[in-house]
Amino acid sequence: MTDAHRNDPVSLTRYLIEEQRAGRIGPDLRLLIEVVARACKRISIAVGKGALGGVLGDAGSAGQASINVQGEAQKKLDVLSNEILMEANAWGGHLAGLASEEMDHSQPISGDYPRGSYLLLFDPLDGSSNIDVNVSVGTIFSVLRCPEGVVTPTDADYLQPGTAQVAAGYCVYGPQTTLVLTVGNGTHAFTLDREIGSFTLTTRGMRIPEETKEFAVNMSNQRFWEPPMQAYVGDLLKGKEGPRGKDFNMRWIASMVADVHRLLTRGGIFSYPLDSKCAPKGGKLRLMYEANPMSFLVEQAGGAASTGRQRMLEVQPTALHQRVPVFLGSRHEVETAVKYHADHDAA
């Protein structure tokens, strides 16, 4: 590269080509990420139109909201975002199958198209309770390898721990549309330049500060938490006068993508712990297309991610829509939360 071009803007395409030239990704993975990014642009446009696009409100017909496999009412934009991602990824030949928060089971790529060697999992529009009130929402995705020799993948082929991910990312639809991506070589942010319709690298190598004074949790669940979580947050709230010796600030957007984007930008701890309401399901957030991709991004930015009792990326999944407790963000703060759990369990 000549000096004249050293400071040129780096598009997502150029970033991916450079990763390919360096031997860190192959052409199929490059295509896969480009296709997901293109779908995110379409979702961003639909989200941005809001009421003008007729996309607000619940999906369903005759006054009956449609319900997804999780037992949650689907929004029109949940359904539309799922369709956009499904259609975009159907025909490129880079995937063997897809799985989504909005679909009961994974789907192999149709026999009408060539089948590739990757599996894509996604939450097409996370935080969808925020859509109608014009607060940031986002898409989360995770990429795995299809096991060797498998031609028509089933749900069981997706049950790989987070350490097996080859790429992960999210796209946040906020005041800016930002795609945050890792292919295992750092975590990088690309902002959508709406005038030219292209993602441009705006932060190379995001780093999460190890220490923080900010936490994110839904405090309304406090009385349902386990004792170690009660103790941990209780000590945060005691501030300077308490054992932590500093005052903490709290933020809760109720869109995991937006909350995680904040901690990747300026540090913090995000948690959705086990509580007595979600305990029968194992937690609130989904392991395979929420917790794992976010944990990969956070670890690649120098942070930590845990269930409170185990490194998130080492959890062996047992079901496609499995739920887990989540603690992720600034390394020392996550380690502190984990210690409260360990001390409680040891006692």
Which residues would be at the binding site for ligand AHM (CB under 6 A)? 72, 101, 123, 126-129, 218, 254-256, 272
In angstroms, the CA 85 to CA 67 distance is 19
In angstroms, the CA 300 to CA 169 distance is 11
> Measured from the CB atom, is 115 or 286 closer to Mg ion?
286
Interface pick for Mg ion out of 19, 78, 102, 123 (rule CB under 5 A): 123
Q: How many residues does the chain have?
A: 347
**Residue 159 interacting partner from ligand AHM, Mg ion, none (CB closer than 5 to 8 Å by kind):** none
Residue nearest to Mg ion (CB): 126
Give the other-Cβ count within 10 Å of 204's Cβ: 12
Task: Write phi, then psi, for 251 (nearest 5 degrees).
Answer: -140, 140
What is the closest distance, in whole angstroms, from the C-beta atom of residue 286 to ligand AHM in the complex? 7
Give the binding range for Mg ion (CB under 5 A) out of 33-41, 115-123, 163-171, 232-240.
115-123
What is the closest distance, in whole angstroms, from the C-beta atom of residue 31 to ligand AHM in the complex? 27
> Measured from the CB atom, is 51 or 67 closer to ligand AHM?
67
Both tokens assigned to 266:
């300026």
3-state secondary structure of 155: helix
> Measured from the CB atom, is 126 or 275 closer to Mg ion?
126
In angstroms, the CA 244 to CA 249 distance is 13
* CA end-to-end span of the chain: 60
Give the other-Cβ count within 10 Å of 114's Cβ: 11
Task: Write phi, then psi, for 73 (nearest 5 degrees).
Answer: -65, 135
In angstroms, the CA 274 to CA 256 distance is 16
- Number of amino acids touching Mg ion (CB under 5 A): 2
What is the closest distance, in whole angstroms, from the C-beta atom of residue 145 to Mg ion in the complex? 24
> Measured from the CB atom, is 74 or 106 closer to ligand AHM?
74
Residues in contact with 159: Cβ distance below 8 Å, sequence separation at least 6, in sequence order: 316, 317, 318, 319, 320
**Residue 128 interacting partner from Mg ion, ligand AHM, none (CB closer than 5 to 8 Å by kind):** ligand AHM
Residues in contact with 162: Cβ distance below 8 Å, sequence separation at least 6, in sequence order: 142, 287, 291, 292, 293, 295, 296, 312, 313, 314, 315
**Residue 218 interacting partner from ligand AHM, Mg ion, none (CB closer than 5 to 8 Å by kind):** ligand AHM
> Measured from the CB atom, is 123 or 226 closer to Mg ion?
123
> Measured from the CB atom, is 91 or 224 closer to ligand AHM?
224
What is the closest distance, in whole angstroms, from the C-beta atom of residue 81 to ligand AHM in the complex? 11
Contact between 126 and Mg ion by CB under 5 A: the answer reads yes
What is the closest distance, in whole angstroms, from the C-beta atom of residue 273 to ligand AHM in the complex? 11
In DSSP terms, which residues pair with 271 in a beta bridge? 327
Site string for Mg ion, 304-343 (x = CB under 5 A): ----------------------------------------
Residue nearest to ligand AHM (CB): 256
Contact between 102 and Mg ion by CB under 5 A: the answer reads no
> Measured from the CB atom, is 39 or 294 closer to ligand AHM?
294
**Residue 237 interacting partner from ligand AHM, Mg ion, none (CB closer than 5 to 8 Å by kind):** none
> Measured from the CB atom, is 67 or 196 closer to ligand AHM?
67
- 198-203 and 167-173 as β-strands: parallel, antiparallel, unpaired? unpaired
Task: Write phi, then psi, for 98 (nearest 5 degrees).
Answer: -135, 155
**Residue 255 interacting partner from ligand AHM, Mg ion, none (CB closer than 5 to 8 Å by kind):** ligand AHM
3-state secondary structure of 142: strand
Where along the sequence are the contacts to Mg ion (CB under 5 A)? Answer: 123, 126
